[in-house]
Structure 1
Amino acid sequence: MTTRCNELNFSGGPGALPASVLLQTQHAIEALPETGLSVLGMSHRSEWFLSLVEEASQNLRALLGLSDDYEIAFMQGGSSLQFATIPMNFAGARWAPPQYISSGYWSRRATAEAQRVYRCGVAWDGERTRYSELPDLAKLDIDPRAAYLHYVSNETVEGLQFGAQEAPSNVALIADMSSDFLSAPVDTERYSMIYAHAQKNLGPSGVTVALVKRALLERIPDGLPAILDYRTHITHRSNYNTPPVFAIYVLTLVSRWLRDEIGGLHAMRAINEQKSAMIYGTFESLGDAVRIHAKAPWRSHMNVAFSFGDERLDRAFVEFAGERHMTGLEGHRSLGGIRASLYNAVTGEAVAALCEAIREFAIKRH
């Protein structure tokens, strides 16, 4: 068997996977070297899988510098399930309503789902600027009695990303980091909870990582359905119901790749900054031929939303890039335009090829 990776994947999700991970996965689908069985047929009750979950947890702890104050759960349902599960577990009569930052498509979805479960406030809304900028977290006026403050660290649709800025320290901070998790170091101690689904930087869809501070777990009320109670998944070591074995296996391979081939999250951040500088620099060189949706201080290293200023030209560019084996560049249905996602496994060579295609297209149509 051989691995073919002729297409350059710039999709917002499922995202690209490292070549070495794809190759190992390919072999594992035939037979795992440790068991002689296909990974697709491995029991979630086997010693092999129990060891895999433990390794995945330890690799994440090492990469993130995560202290023993946090529990790790591998869950299903994507971040969308977390949107409702979080207020079920952590809001309540003892606190003022949780507060949400509405900064783009996915944070709006998170807010709307949470409000179905519990009354929630909106601490900041970016609608007036068409979600092209982000707030200063430290300057938000948050009620210290609020159950928590929730935000999305990277908006994949609009191409917005929070930097490493200060945040209110008088309220529990919960972040959806689905699209920039493990792309750079993060000060985990600032957060009461971080969660991220796979299909961006972690592997194929099917698994969601939840890092939860033990102090937050103490809030959970009795009487929740067991599968919606974080304590259930932690107590059962992410094996309460049949877990996504394949997705957790690939996540573990990705964590090894970050550790052994990349050299950790500081090295990953440097690579990602180089890639995003390359594409934003290309836009700068083209003047007003290209419009970037996000304003400069908040432009994402992971997702770049842009347009040639005309729907017809945007479609033409997607076709132009497709002829050069570049896929996944269509903008999100809610925003339109073009979107290039530069997740961890997207190589510098792939980004250079995209930049060359952007320049060539812009010059031909100027």
Structure 2
Amino acid sequence: MAIGHLTQKLEATTPADIMDMLDRKTLTTTRSLQYAYYTSNSAVESENEPGLLFCHGFPDSSFLWNDIIAHLSNYGIMLKRKVIVPDMLGYAGTSKPLDTALYNYAGMADDLGEILDAENVHKVTIIGHDWGSVMAQRFYAFHSDRVEKIVLLNVAYYPPSKVGDPKFDLQAVNKMLEATFGAPLWTYWEFFTSEDGPRLMRANLQKVYEAQHGDVENWGFKLFCVPGAWRAYITNTESVPLKPYALEKRWRDSFFEQFQQDGFEAPIQWYKAVIENVQYEVEVSVPLERHRIEVPVLFVGCTQDGNNRVDLIEIPQKGGLLPNLRVEQLDCGHWSPMEKPAEIAGFITEFLD
């Protein structure tokens, strides 16, 4: 598929795909959902060396973690710890139901727990990006006994809803965000969950790829935080240059092949589950003491991530909900595992030690 701004030089070489060296497995959970996941079987989990569980977000797959895992392997981490990398619900080799209720955090946390059981892993450091960051937080909420440490990439900690909180209202949330931060940071949700949003994204994959990885100043803010920007961009003829990593054939091919085949109807269920208050209903069951994350947390914020502001981590920190927090910052955009994998692997290695 043609790439905009063809005058840009494409990367000729790419690193080896570490995911091809892992074992690919499938598991059907008690909810009758099939998960595909990758694992390294060379490491033996012990009480002192829990596994590493990686959770990707939108719109990605387990392949998002390829370069970070490759760098961790260079550090020798995989000799000591089992790595488990699922395609999250709605993506790639995993089931893609369109029943929004199946995407509730409690159920998906249980699914991940069953994968860990199948791999004879009790405890993990859970590493999440984008919605995977949220899932890492909620895995702790529902299975805190299985979590050694937590790594959150780009998306800060959002405590669960509690009894007495108002139900989620996207318009009200965006008004609050605009009053607080000067922009409706979640306005792009309106397009993603619109009736024609998934169809338009699938029909304009090149523009979606550019929207994610455009190499333009303040691009994340312009696309994600300006009302109507996503719809306007993917339906017009404008084209922007891509960040160097996004020119690599492996990333392009992985994205185009996956979403040409699967579309976006299942992945946007993660957004719908919040908007339709599926998540509210399960979150209010979380004991209040689990709103405070007692285990060590590493948050890696990115200065070019338009809507996931680095300073959002200060809200739960000042509220006493993250007593063991470490914060690192990178000068990059939202897809940090693709753009800065070596730096992130270094942070993770230090954090594990």
So what's the TM-score if we normalise by structure 1? 0.25
Q: Identify which of structures 1 and 2 has the higher relative contact order when contacts are C-alpha pairs closer than 8 Å and 6+ apart.
A: 1
So what's the TM-score if we normalise by structure 2? 0.25
Q: Which structure would you say has the larger Rg?
A: 1
